[in-house]
Chain A
Amino acid sequence: MSSRMTVPSGHTVIGHSVVRMSLDLRPWLYAGVLVCLVVSLGFVYLTQAGHVARQIEEMEVLELKLQRLKHQNSALLLEIAEYEQVGRIKQQARQLGFAEPEDVEYVVVHLDEAAPQPQDQMARANPENHESLSSVLMAAASPASWRQMLMGQFSDWMKVTAVPKDKR
């Protein structure tokens, strides 16, 4: 397309030709930019619309799920409430042989130091067992005392076996 020729002004025609060519391409360039812009906007728009549609669909699914769960939850609550009904519990209790208390007696328990402790009371009730019961209770406190108690019993047994025959 370009041709070299000399003009009186000294300019070369090549420059004019380039300018003309660029001027001819510009509308296409603008159109291309415009098309790109429109396509971009359209893409953004369609993406957004699709995103919204997907969100709505997802929300519908979640809403249904939520409703179903709430529904199940309330049905379970109702079932619990039916099982917990006063009348039902009373009826079941009666069937199991329970009866409503007609009289309640309160027993006074003194817990001050001066008062006899339950362990002492047990021992007093059966003095013969005092030592053994106490030792068993004490022994239950820790493994070390268990071991100590067993060792003591063993040494006592050894002492007994060591007694001469004539002294028995």
Chain B
Amino acid sequence: MSKASVPSQLYRRALVLATILLSVVVVVILRLAYWQLARNTPVPPGSASRQAFPPQRGNIFDCHGYLLAVATTVYDIGATPRNIPDKPLVADRLSGALGEPRDKILALLQQDGTHVPIKRGVSESVQKSIMEWGANMLQADPRPGRIYPEGTLAAHVLGFVTEDGTGHYGLEGHYQDPLAGRTGYRQESRDPLGSLLFEFLSARDGMDAYLTLDRNVQQVVEVGLADAVTMSGAKHGVTIVMDPATGAILAMASYPTYDPNTRIVADEQLFINEAVSDQYEPGSVFKIITMASALDAGAVAASNTYYDDGKITVGGRVLMNSDRLAHGQTSMYDLLAQSLNVGAAHLSTSLGALKFYQYLRRFGFGQLTGIDLEGEVSGHVRLPGDADWHESDLGTNSFGQGIAVTPLQMLCAVSAVANGGILMRPYMVARLLNGDQITEIQPQTLRRVVSSEAAKQTTEMMVYTVDNFTTTAGVPGYRVAGKSGTSEVPVPGGYDPEETIASFAGYVPADAPRFSILVVLDRPQKEHWGGRVAAPVFQKLARQLVALLGVPSTDARGQ
């Protein structure tokens, strides 16, 4: 080795070492870059190394904290037929445990195949009892489930959850995202160098929802409505109970109903909540709105009278009272109490189309109420300027004909009168709980629709109506404000001459209402008039509710 070559050799070696170190550094940098960039690449769902953690769906409680919908684990029971030596015996035992016909189960067990499904959605206790004796022949696959412990109670309000975890109808549909939560996952993978990597996102359980609905009130309402529909021979019925001061829904029922646990129905239309998704012509209950509007606008005074000659012509169409009689000089009180169509048309024409329809919009007709339930419809109000509006609509609309409203819209408008002229937004969920975080939903004032004086005068007229004419709605010891309605059923080309929709809306106590109720019976057969068929239902419910909610009588309140 020459002396001159020594430094150059040293230099070469140093260069080699530097290259190796540089390579290590480059590898480290590349690896860091991979971690920063490649690991954020979305991982295809369902890959073998991805483990999903389904969130637990939030529970639904009534206003007192009673459970109405519970998230739980249910089991899908299956069998391996070739592992079953004595099929008739197993079919016997499964039939007893699952409540299914023995022959049906036996037919399933006699199929060829490694796995046959027997029954889906079996509860924990049933699954345990089956697995105690059939663990080597049967399978129980767990999956998130939903149970409605009260069965049919508030079914239309709650809606239901299908097996894929999606909520449909009612609250389950409207609050799908908050109730469902977020699925978590753990993704295991290896980088190009073979290092183990994992990514983890914890599941976020769904929020618990506490409703304004009172299950005791709901129970009373559902029993009352079912009796009324059955007794009257009506096709359907709807009842809503609301706190007029806040817009909180205390009960909402449709009949016939269904069990959201099984969802076995002949017609899927039964899933629809008629209280918010169906529209009807309200009939004379609507005169409350016409009267309150006319009083507020100063078109008439409560002390005024008008001459009722039994008919009035509006837009070229002759409108008559339902009794076809002339009532002569008539007070505003008697107009409402005797439900005179001519008088109502007199009020709307005195107001004029512009003002009348302005009031209707202010009361919320033709618009969504904004309730937190899925499938709400806005109803239909023909307005001046619309192609299908006719001048005679000004007359017919005044007594609730030729206008389509939802039961909830109608009750909200009546509740606005009960609430001194202030319209509240109806709501069903009072608070949402996400762990320790509570979201309180406050009552929301929409607007003042009429003055408190006009509302008070209208209330007095409604009390006069119940005290003197629709006495079947009265509650002993309480001042009740109410109004009945009987509307015709629209059919193509006119109205059905045989069928009616009977309804009654009112509130108790009249001077400081604790609740307002709307009862709607669709096509009752034994009686057709709202005052005869819907008012007694109102009376029955109101009597039970004043006791249930502890509403003191008028005497006890010193009124």
Interface, chain A (partner B; CB < 8 A): 19-20, 23, 26-27, 30, 33-34, 37, 41, 45, 48-49, 52-53, 55-56, 59, 63, 67, 70-71, 74-75, 77-78, 80-82, 84-86, 101, 103-108
Contact = CB atoms under 8 A, between A and B. Distances in A.
A116 B10 CA distance: 116
Interface residues of B, number: 42
Interface string B129-155: 000000000000000000101100100
Interface stretch (B194-202, B320-328, B335-343, B436-444): B194-202
A106 B197 CA distance: 72
Task: Specify the main secondary structure of chain A where it touches its partner.
Answer: helix
Given A49-B195, A81-B149, A106-B553, A63 B13 contact: no
A67 B123 CA distance: 17
The 8 A-B pairs at the shortest CB distance, nearest first, are namely A106-B556, A81-B149, A81-B67, A74-B72, A104-B547, A106-B552, A30-B17, A78-B70
Contacts of A74: 56, 70-73
B67 A77 contact: yes
Given A59-B200, A70-B56, A84 B67 contact: yes
Contact of A52 (B6, B72, B196): B196
Contacts of B73: 71, 74-75
A63 B203 CA distance: 10
A1 to B, nearest CB: 15
B150 A86 contact: yes
Given A41-B24, A74-B56, A81-B70, A26 B13 contact: yes
Given A23-B6, A26-B10, A86-B153, A59 B553 contact: no
B555 A108 contact: yes
B80 interface: no
A26 B153 CA distance: 88
Interface of B: 1, 6, 9-10, 13, 17, 20-21, 24, 53, 56, 59, 66-67, 70-73, 123-124, 147, 149-150, 153, 186, 188, 195-198, 200, 205, 215-216, 219, 546-547, 552-553, 555-556, 558
Contacts of B153: 86
Given A23-B6, A41-B24, A63 B53 contact: yes
A29 to B, nearest CB: 10
B59 A108 contact: no
Contacts of A75: 72-73, 124
Contact of A59 (B71, B186, B195): B186
Contacts of B20: 34
26 contacts: A23-B10, A37-B24, A41-B24, A45-B195, A48-B195, A52-B197, A67-B53, A74-B72, A75-B72, A75-B73, A75-B124, A77-B67, A78-B123, A78-B124, A78-B149, A82-B149, A85-B149, A86-B150, A86-B153, A101-B547, A103-B547, A104-B546, A106-B552, A106-B553, A108-B556, A108-B558
A49 B553 contact: no
B205 to A, nearest CB: 8
A42 B215 CA distance: 65
Nearest to B16: A30
A53 B190 CA distance: 12
Contacts of A52: 196-198
A75 to B, nearest CB: 5
Contacts of B66: 81, 84
Nearest to A24: B1
**Among A48, A53, A55, A82: residue with most chain B CB under 10 A:** A82
A20 to B, nearest CB: 8
Given A59-B200, A63-B53, A34 B149 contact: no
Nearest to A83: B149
A49 B190 CA distance: 11
A58 to B, nearest CB: 12
Nearest to A55: B198
Contacts of B123: 78
A145 to B, nearest CB: 38
Given A59-B200, A75-B72, A106-B553, A86 B216 contact: yes
B67 A80 contact: yes
A141 B53 CA distance: 63
A106 B71 CA distance: 42
Given A59-B186, A74-B71, A74-B72, A86 B219 contact: yes
Contacts of B553: 105-106
A56 B200 CA distance: 10
Nearest to B554: A106
B198 A106 contact: no
Contacts of A56: 186, 188, 196, 198
B6 A19 contact: yes
Most buried by B among A33, A55, A85, A107: A85
B141 to A, nearest CB: 14
Contacts of A27: 13
Nearest to B557: A106
Contacts of B215: 86
Contacts of B72: 74-75, 77-78
A84 B149 CA distance: 9
Contacts of B555: 106, 108
A53 B188 CA distance: 10
A21 to B, nearest CB: 12
Given A37-B24, A106-B556, A77 B70 contact: yes
Given A78-B123, A84-B67, 19 more contacts: A23-B9, A26-B10, A30-B17, A34-B17, A37-B24, A49-B196, A52-B198, A56-B188, A56-B196, A56-B198, A71-B73, A77-B67, A78-B72, A82-B149, A84-B149, A104-B546, A106-B556, A107-B556, A108-B555
